[in-house]
Amino acid sequence: MVQTFVQSTDDVVKFLKDQHNLIKDMFEEVFSASSDDARRKAFTELRQLLAVHETAEEMVVHPRVRNEVEGGDIIVDARLIEEHDAKEQLSALEAMDISSKEFLDELTLFRGAVIDHAEREEVEEFSKLQRELDADDLGRMAKAVMAAEAIAPTRPHAGVESAKLNFAVGPFASMLDRARDAIKSAIA
Q: How far apart are the C-alpha atoms of 87 and 141, rounded to whole Å?
A: 24
Residues that bind Fe ion (CB under 5 A): 54, 57, 121
Q: Which is nearer to Fe ion, 7 or 34 (CB)?
A: 7
Question: Whole-number minimum distance, CB 6 to Fe ion, in Å?
Answer: 12
Q: How far apart are the C-alpha atoms of 50 and 44, rounded to whole Å?
A: 10
Question: Which phi and psi angles does 57 have, rounded to 5°?
Answer: -65, -40
Closest residue to bound Fe ion by CB: 57
Q: Which is nearer to Fe ion, 45 or 121 (CB)?
A: 121
Q: Which is nearer to Fe ion, 71 or 178 (CB)?
A: 71
Question: Whole-number minimum distance, CB 17 to Fe ion, in Å?
Answer: 9
Rounded to 10 degrees, what is the CA torsion of 36, 41, 45, 48?
Answer: 90
Question: Whole-number minimum distance, CB 95 to Fe ion, in Å?
Answer: 22
Residue 10 is classified by DSSP as S
